[in-house]
């Protein structure tokens, strides 16, 4: 069976882990009192994991150019392949755009922040109107991200259990058999 490269498989699952950590950090931030150590840790974790998602997604785009996707056997209908391409575009655009929007949100909010311990100073003039607009877009798009991730997972399970093809197995870790 042909699979994606080991690096592509690793980065795919690393992306999932980073996305879970990014979303968990933001969702769990609210269990702590505002500006407490726990709250600030969750907020900084959200920022850091989000930037790491962006880095991994950028690397994955480069790798998509270097490697061909292994064939799905048996081949699905053309309409499913078109939907799969659209889903992948939506996932890549979403998880490249959200960190950029997050950085702009902090910048227009006048916040300094740290990335892996390095201070990132403000680089634009703070503007509450722009900040509010970006915040609304960021939060709405992040919620759409939940839907996209769920739909992607459901599609892979549909391929595995209903269509009984190798779409999911191509991305599973392990040895080629």
Q: Which pLDDT does position 136 carry in this prediction? A: 98
- Give domain limits for the chain: 6-171
Query: Could you give the C-alpha distances from 111 to 35, 78, 143, in angstroms and in order?
Result: 14, 47, 23
CATH of 6-171, one of 3.30.160, 1.10.3470, 1.20.950, 3.40.50: 1.20.950
Q: Which residues contact 94 (CB under 8 A, 6 or more apart)?
A: 141, 144, 145, 148
Q: What is the DSSP letter of 168?
A: T
- pLDDT tens by residue, 26-46: 999 989 999 999 999 999 999
Whole-prediction pTM: 0.91
- pLDDT tens by residue, 129-167: 999 999 999 999 999 999 999 999 999 999 999 999 999
Q: How far is Cα 52 from Cα 106, in angstroms, rounded to an integer?
A: 16
- pLDDT tens by residue, 90-103: 999 999 999 999 99
């Amino acid at each position: 069976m042909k699979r994606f490269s080991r690096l592509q498989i690793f980065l795919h699952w690393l992306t999932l882990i980073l996305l879970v950590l990014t979303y968990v950090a933001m969702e769990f931030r609210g269990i702590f009192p505002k500006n407490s150590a726990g709250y600030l840790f969750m907020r900084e974790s959200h920022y850091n994991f989000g930037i790491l998602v962006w880095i991994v997604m950028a690397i994955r785009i480069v790798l998509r150019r270097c490697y061909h996707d292994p064939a799905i056997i048996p081949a699905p209908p053309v309409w499913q392949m078109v939907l799969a391409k659209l889903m992948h575009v939506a996932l890549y655009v979403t998880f490249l755009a959200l960190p950029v929007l997050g950085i702009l949100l902090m910048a227009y909010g006048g916040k300094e922040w740290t990335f892996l311990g390095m201070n990132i100073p403000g680089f634009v003039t703070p503007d509450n109107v722009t900040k509010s607009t970006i915040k609304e877009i960021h939060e709405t798009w992040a919620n759409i991200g939940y839907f996209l991730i769920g739909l992607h997972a459901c599609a892979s399970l549909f391929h595995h259990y209903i269509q009984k093809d190798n779409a999911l197995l191509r991305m599973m870790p392990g040895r080629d058999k």
